[in-house]
Amino acid sequence: MPTLRTLKDLEREGLVTSDPRLSQVADGMAIGLTEEMLAQIDRRNPTSDPIARQFVPDVRELNVAPGELADPIGDEARSPIKGIVHRYPDRVLLKPLHACPVYCRFCFRREKVGPGAEALNDAELEAALGYIRARPEIWEVVLTGGDPLMMAPRRLTTLIEGLDAIAHVAVVRVHSRVPIVEPSRITDELVQTLRQRRAAVWLAVHCNHSRELTVASRAALTRLTEAGLPLIGQTVLLSGINDDVDTLDRLMRDLVSCRVKPYYLHHPDLVRGTGHFRVSIERGQELMRALRGRLSGLAQPIYVLDVPGGHGKVPIGPAYLGNDPDALSVEDAFGGRHPYPG
């Protein structure tokens, strides 16, 4: 079955009902739901299903609250040249395309991504590489988009080889949903494209719920790790999808069992029309505190927030040190508090 890309496709599968307001939602952001993810949806109650809620349009997306932004993490403000975001001195984002295998309704680039969205042409890609070559302080290049693994393997190979040829680039990090939501794309040719070179190639996989880790996606992750790729995991904390300790616990354990190191748990960004996905920071800290007492350190992600305006990520997890400078104390993983000599 091909990827579902229209409201009619979703109606046919019983995931939405006819509603003119949904047409407005679909006009504002692309639809994409792969066969792999469709198979994980509980059709008896799709409106509350944690997989369907990530990808199926919702009329609540028309509700734009004060403070919500079209560019919540400030990509535009930090983009010196097309396709490049330079937010930190030693690393850049490189966005070669804006297409994805699925379109997550909470995406912070929701107003940019889509199957018809513009990709960098050869001249623009060369200009982006030229920007990186000219700045020896750039140590890491993060390939994002869109989803870089939607590129043709030959074109992706050319891009990675171009980065590998820049002596001061030590790390190429690729961010992707593909191994999870469309694992059939993880072919031998694509694995060969991602093989280790002089620059270390890392793959960050995006996964928000254990049900996304299907038999096929687990096999794809195994194929990647057996080829020598280090894998890290990124998750967005989402209301009604994974904002309870048992769901997060299982997800982090399952990722580690797939040899994926949980990296970031993202606080949801201030994206226009996504208020129904957001949880409070206080709730996020409560969840992180609960995970600390029950999960191995290997399975602990860092809870982070992207500061609006392009000012980067900061950790916002709970504090364990008391704030009395005259009587320093520390809280253990189970809630007990203990004095500690300053």
Residues known to be catalytic? 87-88, 91, 100, 104, 107, 109, 269, 306, 313
Amino acid at 7: L
Residues whose CB is less than 8 angstroms from the CB of residue 105 and which lie 6 or more positions away in sequence, other chains included: 29, 53, 54, 55, 56, 57, 58, 61, 274, 277
Cβ-contact 38, 10 below 8 angstroms: no
Strands of the sheet containing 260-266, edge to edge, are 84-88, 91-94, 140-143, 171-176, 200-206, 231-236, 260-266, 302-306, 313-315
Count other C-beta atoms under 10 Å from residue 330's C-beta: 13
CA gap 80, 253 in Å, rounded: 40
Tokens of 298: 């290997």
Task: Name the DSSP letter for residue 321.
Answer: B
CA gap 249, 265 in Å, rounded: 12
Amino acid at 340: Y
Cβ-contact 254, 217 below 8 angstroms: no
Tokens of 109: 């680039």
Residue entry with tokens 């997989």 = 51
CA gap 262, 254 in Å, rounded: 10
